[in-house]
């Protein structure tokens, strides 16, 4: 690169940083598109709409029906936000909280009346039409009442007999793609639908889908459908297909609901929580920038400039992709800044190794990027596979976490492999060609990790088994293995109407200490009902005596009317179905990662070692949760998933070096020496990447509010554990598998 081109490149980079930073802060146009202020925020940051439904006709519906209804509603409202929450209140009420919206009426109108969807035959048994087209409005109308249709058997199917409804694309008879809704019925529904479609097909009739007193679709039956699957075609767009699929899903609820009340609620957390988190991000980034420049000099400066672009792009694309951001999400983004350094550290270590062999700076930069490519791509693609599976199979916060993770991975790869390289070449072209500005890797004697492999493995087993022992003790003494919070075990929701409109700061400083002193609970969630003096406080499940004590304490402290204090037991916001979704998603993601590593490294022993290390890290952090009694809430899942993604990345880097060195292995070098050399060569990368990430999380822990600290503390343990397992465990496991399970050579 010529000097003039180097100057032009740096000017473009500076303008790019300035432009992206301005867009991320101020936005574009009157609507401020792309700015941080336009990012959809969760209930904890911005509040939203809270709707309470009550079951119609049943005072004590079964737990199974309530769970089924809650899960299906959760899937429905995720269309508004992945961070929407649905949970049970009392015996026969369901509460829905949707962040980022303020018009309860429009949400109610779109949701309709859950539990009232029917499939109606065009004619009854005597050939009379059940519905007809009103040409004045060009819409279908019923010719009988719904009760009459049910009585004479014209309602061939109800929404409860629909197992699944998904929007998608199919190839029609002409070979063209068109939008459609794919329906899957239950076993009983399949039998009924087969009979109904046989009659309709023979008579050239339609079967109408009737929901909330409206015909939502009147498709023609083109064949007898006996396999329990059907397609509704001729959709004009994917949005139309998705709307119909969502309508069918919500109409398939086992219980019929009616609106009891709806409110617009304020943010669960105060401004101080957001401000301290942002302050932590700024301080953490400054410390990481200083560290990178101090350790890596010119390459470090290039990485800092690339990180500025990375952060701005993340903010802009969060808004562009309509991803809902919560406080743990902010923590995750701040964490990703530390993780984004990883690719740069791998590259810079490679450059220093090349300089140590006597190559020129220019050649070292070129070769360094080339040699780092496989480790960076394999590590990030492995994590990206996990993110994609979690995004598809997960629900709720898992899906939101996966979206943020995938976005961060793609952008970090782009900034490291393209932007950092461009800046570094430009700086070289400007005359910064002296080796002293880049550093030279010093030859280090390999550390003997493999000889201590049994010690490392035994130490890990002791910690893991100890964790299970503590969980057993916790179970016998407290009734639960871990310190589960509201999200996992439910609690008590107390609605209080104060004499004045309290600010979030007043609630945090005055009300919460009173509640905490009575309940002994520090994991308290609060919400303000917008436009009123009402405050909703959610705590662990309180006994009758504790509720009475809390009521009295609030009356004594704030002189409020005791009749304006009501309390209801609420279920967990993370349902059993959501938990099983998360577990299934993680298992599938693990299998996919194993398959990818096996494919890339051509050796299942690499893959199995990496997966065992992941299990190790998760179990060690789980042991920490049990011993430290850290609250297990919504951030627990995000924490575990972050550790999985972080740990696999570090392991891939070491395995990539083992693979590279193995191809160049001499006959004099033993396998043990090769593994020790490979781990030692990547040791600085493992330590520095962990240190930069640890710095970001540590600042979060020091400055953050309680919920952020409960995310940051186990994450710090996970970072240390992930580094330990990558350096001390994975190489040893691979060595054991390699020496104990030798590949059989073909006999010629």
Model confidence at 748, pLDDT cuts 50, 70, 90, reads very low
* 3: in domain: no
Q: At what angle do helices 604-628 and 576-601 cross, to 10 degrees?
A: 150
Model confidence at 424, pLDDT cuts 50, 70, 90, reads very high
Among 69, 90, 114, the domain boundary falls at 114
In a shared domain, residues 387 and 351 = yes
Model confidence pLDDT, tens digit, residues 65-101: 888 788 778 877 877 777 788 888 888 888 888 887 7
Mean pLDDT of 723-747: 81
Provide the pLDDT for residue 697: 85
Mean pLDDT of 298-304: 93
* 19: in domain: no
Q: Which residue has the higher pLDDT, 137 or 110?
A: 137
What CA–CA distance (Å, rounded) separates 609 from 614?
Answer: 9
Provide the pLDDT for residue 159: 82
Does the pLDDT value for residue 413 go beyond 80?
A: yes
Per the prediction, the chain carries an average pLDDT of 84
Provide the pLDDT for residue 327: 64
Does the pLDDT value for residue 746 go beyond 50?
A: no
CA nearest neighbour of 405 among 638, 605, 93? 638
Model confidence pLDDT, tens digit, residues 556-581: 999 998 888 988 888 777 766 667 77
Query: For 185, phi and psi rounded to 5 degrees?
Result: -105, 160
Tokens of 146: 């719904």
DSSP label of 252: T
In a shared domain, residues 591 and 558 = no
DSSP 638-696: HHHHHHHHHHHHHHHHHHHHHHHHHHT--TTS-HHHHHHHHHHHTHHHHHHHHHHHHHH
Q: Which residue has the higher pLDDT, 399 or 701?
A: 701
Does the pLDDT value for residue 338 go beyond 80?
A: no
Among 89, 114, 139, the domain boundary falls at 114
CA angle in degrees (0–180, nearest 5) for 421-424-425: 85
* 90: in domain: yes
491-497 and 534-539 beta bridge pairing: antiparallel
What CA–CA distance (Å, rounded) separates 192 from 157?
Answer: 7
DSSP label of 435: G
Provide the pLDDT for residue 44: 67
- Domain residues for 539? 491-570
**Do residues 532 and 564 lie in contact, with contact meaning Cβ atoms separated by under 8 Å?**
no
Tokens of 374: 């496989």
Provide the pLDDT for residue 674: 93
In a shared domain, residues 343 and 457 = yes
Return the H-helix or E-strand segment holding 736: helix 731-740
* 414: in domain: yes
Residue 632 neighbours by CB distance under 10 Å: 25
Token pair 């929407």 is at which residue?
84
332 burial (CB, 10 Å; 0-12 / 13-18 / 19+) is buried
Model confidence pLDDT, tens digit, residues 188-218: 889 999 999 999 999 899 999 888 778 888 9
What CA–CA distance (Å, rounded) separates 183 from 164?
Answer: 6
In a shared domain, residues 122 and 84 = no
Model confidence pLDDT, tens digit, residues 507-526: 878 888 888 888 877 677 78
Q: Which residue has the higher pLDDT, 9 or 649?
A: 9
First to last CA, the chain: 54
Among 570, 587, 606, the domain boundary falls at 570
Does the pLDDT value for residue 743 go beyond 70?
A: no
Residue 261 neighbours by CB distance under 10 Å: 13
CA nearest neighbour of 246 among 68, 76, 71, 73? 76
Mean pLDDT of 261-288: 74
What CA–CA distance (Å, rounded) separates 207 from 216?
Answer: 11
In a shared domain, residues 90 and 221 = no
Does the pLDDT value for residue 467 go beyond 80?
A: yes
Model confidence pLDDT, tens digit, residues 365-386: 999 999 989 888 888 888 888 7
Mean pLDDT of 598-605: 88
Provide the pLDDT for residue 675: 93
In a shared domain, residues 608 and 732 = yes
Model confidence at 725, pLDDT cuts 50, 70, 90, reads very high
Count structural domains, the chain.
4
In a shared domain, residues 445 and 313 = yes
What CA–CA distance (Å, rounded) separates 364 from 588?
Answer: 40
Provide the pLDDT for residue 729: 94
Alpha-carbon dihedral of residues 457, 459, 462, 463, nearest 10 degrees?
A: -110
Does the pLDDT value for residue 623 go beyond 90?
A: yes
Provide the pLDDT for residue 473: 94
* 186: in domain: yes
In a shared domain, residues 83 and 128 = no
In a shared domain, residues 348 and 331 = yes
What CA–CA distance (Å, rounded) separates 522 from 465?
Answer: 29
The long-range contacts involving 21-29, CB below 8 angstroms and separated by at least 24 positions, are 21/308, 21/312, 23/312, 23/316, 24/311, 24/312, 24/315, 24/316
Distances from the Cα of 284 to the Cα of 330, 636, 698, 707, angstroms: 13, 22, 8, 18
Distances from the Cα of 732 to the Cα of 168, 449, 450, 684, 739, angstroms: 47, 8, 5, 19, 11
Provide the pLDDT for residue 335: 64
* 748: in domain: no
Provide the pLDDT for residue 625: 92
In a shared domain, residues 93 and 216 = no
Model confidence at 405, pLDDT cuts 50, 70, 90, reads confident
Mean pLDDT of 472-498: 86
What CA–CA distance (Å, rounded) separates 314 from 410?
Answer: 10
* 718: in domain: yes
pTM beyond cutoff 0.85: no
Model confidence at 529, pLDDT cuts 50, 70, 90, reads confident
Model confidence pLDDT, tens digit, residues 218-273: 988 888 888 888 888 878 888 788 878 877 877 777 787 888 777 777 666 655 66
In a shared domain, residues 176 and 88 = no
Query: How does 422-439 read in b/e, with b if 16+ C-beta sit within 10 Å?
Result: bbbbbbbbeebeeeeebb
Does the pLDDT value for residue 721 go beyond 90?
A: yes
- The sign of the torsion formed by the CA atoms of 707, 709, 712, 714 equals negative
Mean pLDDT of 613-638: 86
Q: Per mean pLDDT, which range of 176-185, 517-526, 610-619, 690-699 is the poorest?
A: 517-526
**Do residues 656 and 375 lie in contact, with contact meaning Cβ atoms separated by under 8 Å?**
yes
* CATH code for the domain in which residue 497 is found: 3.30.70.260
* 30: in domain: no
Mean pLDDT of 346-363: 91
Highest mean pLDDT of the ranges 71-75, 391-395, 599-603: 599-603
In a shared domain, residues 199 and 95 = no
């Amino acid at each position: 690169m010529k000097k003039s081109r180097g100057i032009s490149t740096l000017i473009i980079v500076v303008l790019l940083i300035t432009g992206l930073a301005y867009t991320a802060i101020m936005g574009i146009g009157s609507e401020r598109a792309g700015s941080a202020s336009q990012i959809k925020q969760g209930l904890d940051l911005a509040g939203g709409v809270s709707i309470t439904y009550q079951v119609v006709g049943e005072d004590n519906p079964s737990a199974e029906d309530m769970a089924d209804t809650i899960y299906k509603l959760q899937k429905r409202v995720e269309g508004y936000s992945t961070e929407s929450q649905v949970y049970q209140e009392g015996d026969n009420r369901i509460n829905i909280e949707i962040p980022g919206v303020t018009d309860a009426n429009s949400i109610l109108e779109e949701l309709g009346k859950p539990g009232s969807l029917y499939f109606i035959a065009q004619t009854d048994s005597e050939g009379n039409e059940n519905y007809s087209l009103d040409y004045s409005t060009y819409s279908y109308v019923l010719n009988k009442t719904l009760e009459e249709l049910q009585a004479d058997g014209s309602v061939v199917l109800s929404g409860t007999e629909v197992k699944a409804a998904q929007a998608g694309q199919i190839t029609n008879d002409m070979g063209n793609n068109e939008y459609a809704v794919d329906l899957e019925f239950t076993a009983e529904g399949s039998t009924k639908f087969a009979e109904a479609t046989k009659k309709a097909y023979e008579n050239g009739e339609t079967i109408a889908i009737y929901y909330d007193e409206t015909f939502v679709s009147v498709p023609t039956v083109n064949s007898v459908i006996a396999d329990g699957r059907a397609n509704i075609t001729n959709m004009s767009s994917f949005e139309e297909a998705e709307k119909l699929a969502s309508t069918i899903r919500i109409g398939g609820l086992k219980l019929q609901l009616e609106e009891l009340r709806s409110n617009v609620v304020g943010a669960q957390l105060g401004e101080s929580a957001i401000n301290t988190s942002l302050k932590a991000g700024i301080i953490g980034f400054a410390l990481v920038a200083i560290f990178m420049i101090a350790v890596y000099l010119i390459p470090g400066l290039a990485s800092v400039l690339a990180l500025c672009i990375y952060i701005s792009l993340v903010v802009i694309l969060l808004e562009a992709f309509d991803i809902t951001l919560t406080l743990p999400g902010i923590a995750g983004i701040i964490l990703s800044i530390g993780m984004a350094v990883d690719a740069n550290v791998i590259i810079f270590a490679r450059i220093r190794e090349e300089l140590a062999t006597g190559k020129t700076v220019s050649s070292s930069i070129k070769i360094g990027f080339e040699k780092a490519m496989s480790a960076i791509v394999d590590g990030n693609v492995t994590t990206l596979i996990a993110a994609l599976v979690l995004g598809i199979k997960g629900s709720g916060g898992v899906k939101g976490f996966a979206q943020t993770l995938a976005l961060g991975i793609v952008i970090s790869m782009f900034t490291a492999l393209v932007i950092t390289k461009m800046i570094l070449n430009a700086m070289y072209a400007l005359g910064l060609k002296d080796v002293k500005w880049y550093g030279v890797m010093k030859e280090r004697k390999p550390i003997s990790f493999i000889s201590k492999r049994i010690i490392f493995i035994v130490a890990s087993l002791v910690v893991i088994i100890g964790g299970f022992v503590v969980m057993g003790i916790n179970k016998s003494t407290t009734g639960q293995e871990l310190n589960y919070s509201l999200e996992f075990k439910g609690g008590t929701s107390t609605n209080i109407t104060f004499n004045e409109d309290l600010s979030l700061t007043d609630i945090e400083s005055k009300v919460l200490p009173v509640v905490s002193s009575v309940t002994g609970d520090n994991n308290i969630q609060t919400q303000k009902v917008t436009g009123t003096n009402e405050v909703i406080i959610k705590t662990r499940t309180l006994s009758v005596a504790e509720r009475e004590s809390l009521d009295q304490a609030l009356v004594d402290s704030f002189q409020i009317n005791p009749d304006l204090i009501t309390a209801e037991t609420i279920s967990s916001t993370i349902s059993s179905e959501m938990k099983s979704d998360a577990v299934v998603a993680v298992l599938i993601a693990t299998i996919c990662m194993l398959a990818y590593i096996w494919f890339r490294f051509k050796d299942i022993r690499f893959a199995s070692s990496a997966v065992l290390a992941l299990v190790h890290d998760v179990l060690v952090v789980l042991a920490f949760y049990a011993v430290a009694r850290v609250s297990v809430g919504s951030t627990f899942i995000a924490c575990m998933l972050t550790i999985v993604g972080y740990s696999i990345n570090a392991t891939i880097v070491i395995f990539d070096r083992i693979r590279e060195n193995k191809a160049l292995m001499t006959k004099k070098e033993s396998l043990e020496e090769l593994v020790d050399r490979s781990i030692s060569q990547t040791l600085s990368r493992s330590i520095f990447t962990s240190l930069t990430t640890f710095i970001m999380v540590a600042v979060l822990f020091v400055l953050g509010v309680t919920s952020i600290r409960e995310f940051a503390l186990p994450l710090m343990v996970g970072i240390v554990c992930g580094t330990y397992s990558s350096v001390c465990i994975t190489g040893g496991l691979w060595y054991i598998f390699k020496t104990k399970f030798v590949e059989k050579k073909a006999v010629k």
